[in-house]
């Protein structure tokens, strides 16, 4: 997993409450088990019309936000079913950070496991960042995970809280597999000791 340290990019405003996971990535795209290729279908039913043409008014179709890496969203983002494809689609599009007043718990946890930083902030701070985001590509935002700060285009700073363990995992690019591999030496030592003490547990070759 790619580490998350400091992210500077365009923030796209999505002032919609209760954006559920089916809105993020509709059910017809859940057949794949790959984490790549889903970005083009992110917010599919809002981005495209019935003929497959882009809806000009949708934020991610607008020239200023086509390369957005930060999403400023409404309350209760990621509610609905617990599909991990939702953070996969966001990450594949290029979104590495989502800012909202609240998130659905399962979606929130899945973000950390897929290299996305979800930030909970009071409504007042989200409103400020939403206003910054609505200025378009000229208003870049910097998210500094180590300092736990969001720096706006006018120099304003918003502080955010994050669980220390999750912060450690993101800074070091550690998903569940990466965390396990941190203990690789201890795992190999245990396996060697088990082989010596209980040789009958070793699987037969072939």
Which residue would you say has higher pLDDT here, 77 or 179? 77
Percent of the chain surpassing pLDDT 90: 76
The yes-or-no verdict on residue 195 having pLDDT over 90 is no
What distance in Å separates the CA atoms of residue 43 and residue 65, rounded to the nearest whole number?
14
Q: What is the pLDDT of residues 153-175, one digit of tens each?
A: 998 999 999 999 999 999 999 87
pLDDT at position 112 is 96
Structure tokens at 142: 């910097």
What distance in Å separates the CA atoms of residue 46 and residue 89, rounded to the nearest whole number?
14
Structure tokens at 201: 């547990």
pTM of the model: 0.86
The yes-or-no verdict on residue 181 having pLDDT over 60 is no
Q: DSSP of the chain, one letter per residue?
A: ----SEEEEEEEEE--SS-BHHHHS-GGGTT---SSS-GGGTTHHHHB-TTS-B-TTSGGGSGGGTT--EEEE-SSBTBSS--THHHHHHHHHT--EEEES-B-HHHHHHHHHTT-EEEE--HHHHHHHHHHHTT-TT-EEEEETTTTEEE-TTS-EEE----HHHHHHHHTT--HHHHHHTTHHHHHHHHHHHHHH-GGGSPPP-
Domains and CATH numbers, the chain: 6-198 (3.20.19.10)
Q: What is the pLDDT of residues 11-61, one digit of tens each?
A: 999 999 999 999 999 999 998 888 889 999 999 999 999 999 999 999 999
pLDDT band at residue 201, thresholds of 50, 70 and 90?
confident
pLDDT band at residue 106, thresholds of 50, 70 and 90?
very high
Structure tokens at 75: 């309350």
The 10 Å Cβ neighbour count of residue 2 is 10
């Amino acid at each position: 997993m790619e580490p998350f340290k400091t992210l500077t990019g365009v923030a796209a405003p999505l002032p919609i409450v209760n954006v559920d996971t089916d809105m993020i990535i509709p059910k017809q795209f859940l057949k794949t088990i790959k984490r790549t290729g889903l970005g083009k279908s992110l917010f599919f039913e809002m981005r495209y019309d019935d003929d497959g043409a882009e809806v000009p008014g949708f934020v991610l179709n607008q020239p200023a936000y086509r390369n957005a890496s930060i999403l400023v969203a409404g309350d209760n983002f990621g509610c609905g079913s617990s599909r991990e494809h939702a953070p996969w689609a966001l990450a594949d599009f290029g979104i590495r950070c989502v800012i909202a007043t609240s998130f659905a718990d399962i979606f929130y946890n899945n973000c950390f496991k897929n290299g996305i930083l979800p930030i909970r902030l009071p409504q007042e701070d989200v409103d400020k960042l939403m206003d910054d985001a609505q200025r378009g590509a000229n208003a870049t935002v910097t998210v500094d995970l180590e300092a736990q700060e969001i720096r706006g285009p006018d120099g304003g700073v918003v502080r955010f809280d994050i669980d220390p363990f999750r912060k450690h995992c993101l800074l070091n690019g550690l998903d569940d597999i990466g965390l396990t591999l941190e203990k690789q030496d201890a795992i190999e030592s245990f396996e060697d000791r088990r082989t010596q003490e209980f040789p009958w547990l070793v699987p037969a070759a072939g």
